[in-house]
Amino acid sequence: MAETGGSEDDLHYDVMVENALRGVVRQALAQVAEHGLPGEHHFYVTFRTDHPDVVMPDSLKERYPREMTIVLQYQFWDLQVGEDAFQVTLTFNNVSEQLHIPFEAIAAFADPSVRFGLQFDAGEDDDSENATPEQASNYQGNASEAGGAPEKAEGGDDDTGGDDNVVTLDRFRKKQ
């Protein structure tokens, strides 16, 4: 019988699960980059703007110093997906801007058309990791600046009933 010289945390299952689920985001974006968005599918992507590898215009970083949500639905261009990051061009106040977003900077990913969502630990220190894409407001790829409440993407579903397919990783995280 093999000895287990360490604690039960040695395998870091929470990290493995989170990496696997980030792979789901990468695969979904890669399919869209290659084939376009099918049917009513559209994505909310919430990411940490303060992540060191995020590349975005300074004006947006100043306005959203911690977190931003984008919607990939109608007006986005040049979606390119790599192993560790994706980049996309979106319009903000009628100006096209390219964003480079590492997968590890993503805090939440949702496809409201099928009521699917994932939340990640993207290095946040506060309770904002529990925010839904509807609560985390900033910009849509196809819309002007969002005001106090986020603009709902056309075709999106506001019903937040108990049937949502949101996967949170809290049950896998170490309690401190």
Structure token pair of residue 51: 């992540």
CA distance 26 to 119: 14
Whether this prediction's pTM lies above 0.75 is answered by no
Residue 31 confidence (pLDDT): 96
Asked if 113 contacts 157 with a C-beta cutoff of 8 angstroms, the reply is: yes
Closest CA to 120 of 85, 82, 166: 166
Model confidence pLDDT, tens digit, residues 158-171: 333 334 444 445 54
Structural domain contains residue 31: yes
Query: Residue 18 has what DSSP assignment?
Result: H
Q: pLDDT of 63-101, one tens digit each?
A: 999 999 999 998 999 999 999 999 999 999 899 999 999
As a whole number of angstroms, the distance between CA 148 and CA 62 comes to: 17
> What's the token pair of residue 20?
């696997």
Report yes or no: 94 and 145 within 8 Å, Cβ to Cβ. Answer: no
Query: What digits encode the pLDDT tens for the residues 115-135?
Result: 999 999 866 444 433 333 333
> Is 3 inside any structural domain?
no
Across the range 148-153, mean pLDDT stands at 30
Answer whether residue 99 is part of any domain.
yes
Closest CA to 151 of 162, 138, 163, 164: 138
Residue 119 falls inside a structural domain: yes
pLDDT at 107 over 90: yes
Asked whether residue 4 is domain-assigned, the answer is no
Domain that holds residue 120: 13-147+163-170
Residue 5 lies inside a defined structural domain of this protein: no
Specify the pLDDT at position 11: 87
Residue 134 lies in a domain: yes
Domain of 75, CATH number, reads 2.30.30.220
Structural domain includes residue 152: no
Distance (Å, rounded) from C-alpha 48 to C-alpha 113? 24
Residue 46, pLDDT above cutoff 90: yes
pLDDT above 70 covers a percentage of the chain that reads 64
- 119 within 8 A of 108, measured Cβ to Cβ: yes
Asked if residue 37 lies in contact with residue 99, where contact means CB atoms within 8 angstroms, the answer is no
Number of domains into which the chain is organized: 1
Q: Answer whether 109's CB lies under 8 Å from 80's CB.
A: no
Whether 7 has a pLDDT exceeding 50, the answer reads yes
